[in-house]
């Protein structure tokens, strides 16, 4: 919609020169989002929202297959409810937005805009749950949440963001842990299969866990600048909240018990990770599984009218045939803008596959394929277009995931002494090192290197290891992953 006639490739900062500047430019030029007059809130534009719709469609099916049902709870939380769980309140207090006037009157009790919905939901769960037959209760909600952030960044950290929050209630803590791990697997599956991103996943430290949780599991994305982006979390809440909100059930021996709970969420932040990891100097790169369109057909016309008609007819024919075969495709048959400009536009928007059709292609009964991920070009005979489109999109999806895995591998180092730790921290690496679990070591490391524990990786959770804590030298039993967090 914006005027881009002065656009050229040179307008985009090189990704490796200044990731932050590049990111803002891509978000803007690819029509993903834009800033608003509301402090720290972005406007999600069509291309950004289309990605969020894909996230919703994919995860929603997954949740429902598991028996999770969608509900909708109020945005406004009475302050006395939020206060009930002490850690939860402390964790969220600095970020709250508060409604004090409504309907022309000062409110007797202020309402808080939900930063997350545990308290408003669990107040009601106590009415809904009486017997073990009411369990498990599995609820999800797609909604907006508000957390007043000091420094904001489109998608990555905004005052208002969109997310889903799953909330479940179980008879036993084991069931709750299993549920938190299952949700973690869903998120991993989503990131790997759809966003083509290879995350770290594992347990959070006491310091980094969710306010009010017993344990938190996290999905961490490795950003090319060496920072870690927390891209989803799942929580075993234990019976913390059920005790506070007096949620009880009669078990099958008719004994009154407190149930065990989980919550888990993934937000529009995921889109920030996608942009940061897959983008390149030409702009956004979308994985075919979530790209819409997946394919853009470009007509390359000349001055010969009858040739141009043939090109147009051929392009329309291929467009229809791709559409019939369920590909998300659009036809760009613009004849006013230059070819270079048009190519730049589709590149910056990250469309995975571009098909060009000009005079030569029509004459020789073929088309030109151009991959967005590696700029590879090839000529495909007409009868092979469908098959090759399918193969190429699959290859792009696979290649993007491989690249993400490579970034992760290249940026992660094992370290066994603090000198090395500091060196690698300066080199912006993800560091795997023994840590004794002591909060003081964790805090000192953060102060001195800016690095925090990201996760204890899942495949190390039950591993028997032993070595000196990288900070204090005392005996440690697990290697944690450290990185600078977004």
Q: Would you tell me which residues interact with a copy of itself (CB under 8 A)?
A: 1-3, 34, 36-38, 41-46, 49-50, 52-53, 69-78, 81, 93-104, 110-111, 113, 120, 123-124, 127-131, 134, 137, 143-144, 146, 148-150, 159-160, 162
CB nearer to a copy of itself: give 150 or 474.
Answer: 150
By CB neighbour count within 10 A (0-12 exposed, 13-18 middle, 19+ buried), where does 305 fall? exposed
CB nearer to a copy of itself: give 52 or 260.
Answer: 52
Question: 């560091």: which residue's tokens?
Answer: 431
Cα separation values, 214 from 185, 225, 238, 263, 267, Å: 19, 32, 6, 11, 22
Give the distance, in angstroms, between the CA of residue 382 and the centroid of all CA atoms in the same chain: 38
Q: Cβ distance 355 to 296 under 8 Å?
A: yes
Beta strand residue intervals within 323-474, DSSP E:
329-332, 353-357, 366-371, 377-381, 412-414, 430-435, 452-457, 467-468
CB nearer to a copy of itself: give 108 or 305.
Answer: 108
Q: Kindly state the smallest distance separating residue 199's Cβ from a copy of itself, in Å.
A: 25
* Structural element, H or E, at residue 145: strand 137-146
CB nearer to a copy of itself: give 98 or 313.
Answer: 98
CB nearer to a copy of itself: give 41 or 251.
Answer: 41
Residue 200: half-sphere exposure toward Cβ, Cα within 13 Å: 31
CB nearer to a copy of itself: give 27 or 162.
Answer: 162
CB nearer to a copy of itself: give 103 or 462.
Answer: 103
CB nearer to a copy of itself: give 42 or 184.
Answer: 42
Whole-angstrom Cα Rg for the chain: 26
In the DSSP assignment, the letter for residue 209 is: S
Q: Kindly state the smallest distance separating residue 268's Cβ from a copy of itself, in Å.
A: 9
Per the document, the length of the chain is 486
* Structural element, H or E, at residue 444: helix 439-449
> CA nearest 380: which of 393, 363, 401, 366?
366
Q: Kindly state the smallest distance separating residue 384's Cβ from a copy of itself, in Å.
A: 31
Q: Kindly state the smallest distance separating residue 76's Cβ from a copy of itself, in Å.
A: 5
Beta strand residue intervals within 147-283, DSSP E:
160-170, 200-203, 215-222, 227-238, 249-250, 256-257, 260-267
Q: Kindly state the smallest distance separating residue 28's Cβ from a copy of itself, in Å.
A: 11
**Backbone region of residue 134 per phi and psi (left: phi > 0; alpha: psi in -120 to 50; beta: other values):** alpha
Q: Kindly state the smallest distance separating residue 455's Cβ from a copy of itself, in Å.
A: 28
| Distance, CA of 436 to CA of 439 (rounded, Å) | 9
Q: Kindly state the smallest distance separating residue 12's Cβ from a copy of itself, in Å.
A: 20
Q: Kindly state the smallest distance separating residue 338's Cβ from a copy of itself, in Å.
A: 16
Q: Kindly state the smallest distance separating residue 35's Cβ from a copy of itself, in Å.
A: 9
CB nearer to a copy of itself: give 97 or 472.
Answer: 97
């Amino acid at each position: 919609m914006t005027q881009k006639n002065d656009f050229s490739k040179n307008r985009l900062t090189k990704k490796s020169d200044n990731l932050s500047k590049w990111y803002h430019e891509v978000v803007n030029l690819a029509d993903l989002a834009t800033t608003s007059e509301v402090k720290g809130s972005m406007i999600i534009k069509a291309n950004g929202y289309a990605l969020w719709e894909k996230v919703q469609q994919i995860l929603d099916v997954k949740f429902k297959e598991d028996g999770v049902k969608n509900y909708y709870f109020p945005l406004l939380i009475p302050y006395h409810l939020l206060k009930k769980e002490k850690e939860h309140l402390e964790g969220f207090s600095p970020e709250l937005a508060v409604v004090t006037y409504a309907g022309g009157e000062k409110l007797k009790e202020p309402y808080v805009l939900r930063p997350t919905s545990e308290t408003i939901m669990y107040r009601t769960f106590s009415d809904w749950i009486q017997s073990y037959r009411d369990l498990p209760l599995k609820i999800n909600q797609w909604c907006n949440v508000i957390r007043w952030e000091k420094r904001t960044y489109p998608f990555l950290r905004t005052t208002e963001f969109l997310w889903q929050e799953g909330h479940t209630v179980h008879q036993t803590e084991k069931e709750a842990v299993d549920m938190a791990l299952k949700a973690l697997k869903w998120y991993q599956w989503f990131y790997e299969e759809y966003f083509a991103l290879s995350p770290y996943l594992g347990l959070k430290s006491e310091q980094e866990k969710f306010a009010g949780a017993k344990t938190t599991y996290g999905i961490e994305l490795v950003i090319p600048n060496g920072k870690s982006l927390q891209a989803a979390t799942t929580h075993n809440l234990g019976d913390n909240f059920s005790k506070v909100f007096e949620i009880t059930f009669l078990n099958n021996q008719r004994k009154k018990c407190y149930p065990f709970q989980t919550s888990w969420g993934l937000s529009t932040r995921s889109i920030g990770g996608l942009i940061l990891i897959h983008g390149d100097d030409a702009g956004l790169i979308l994985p075919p599984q979530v790209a819409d369109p997946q394919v853009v057909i470009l007509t390359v016309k000349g001055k010969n009218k009858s040739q141009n008609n043939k090109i147009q007819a051929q392009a329309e024919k291929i467009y229809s045939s791709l559409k019939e075969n369920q590909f998300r495709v659009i036809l760009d048959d613009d004849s006013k803008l230059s070819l270079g400009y048009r190519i730049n536009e589709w590149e910056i928007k990250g469309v995975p596959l571009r098909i060009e059709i000009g005079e030569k292609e029509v004459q020789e009964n073929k088309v030109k394929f151009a991959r967005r991920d590696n700029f590879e070009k090839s000529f495909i005979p007409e009868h092979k277009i469908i098959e090759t489109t399918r193969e190429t999109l699959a290859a792009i999806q696979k290649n993007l995931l491989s690249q993400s895995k490579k970034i992760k591998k290249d940026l992660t180092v094992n370290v066994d002494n603090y000198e090395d730790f500091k060196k690698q921290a300066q080199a912006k690496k993800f560091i795997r090192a023994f840590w004794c679990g002591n909060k003081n070591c964790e805090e000192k490391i953060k102060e001195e290197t800016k690095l925090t524990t990201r996760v204890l990786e899942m495949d190390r959770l039950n591993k028997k290891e032993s070595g000196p804590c990288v900070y204090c030298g005392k005996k440690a039993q697990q290697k944690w992953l450290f990185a600078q967090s977004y």
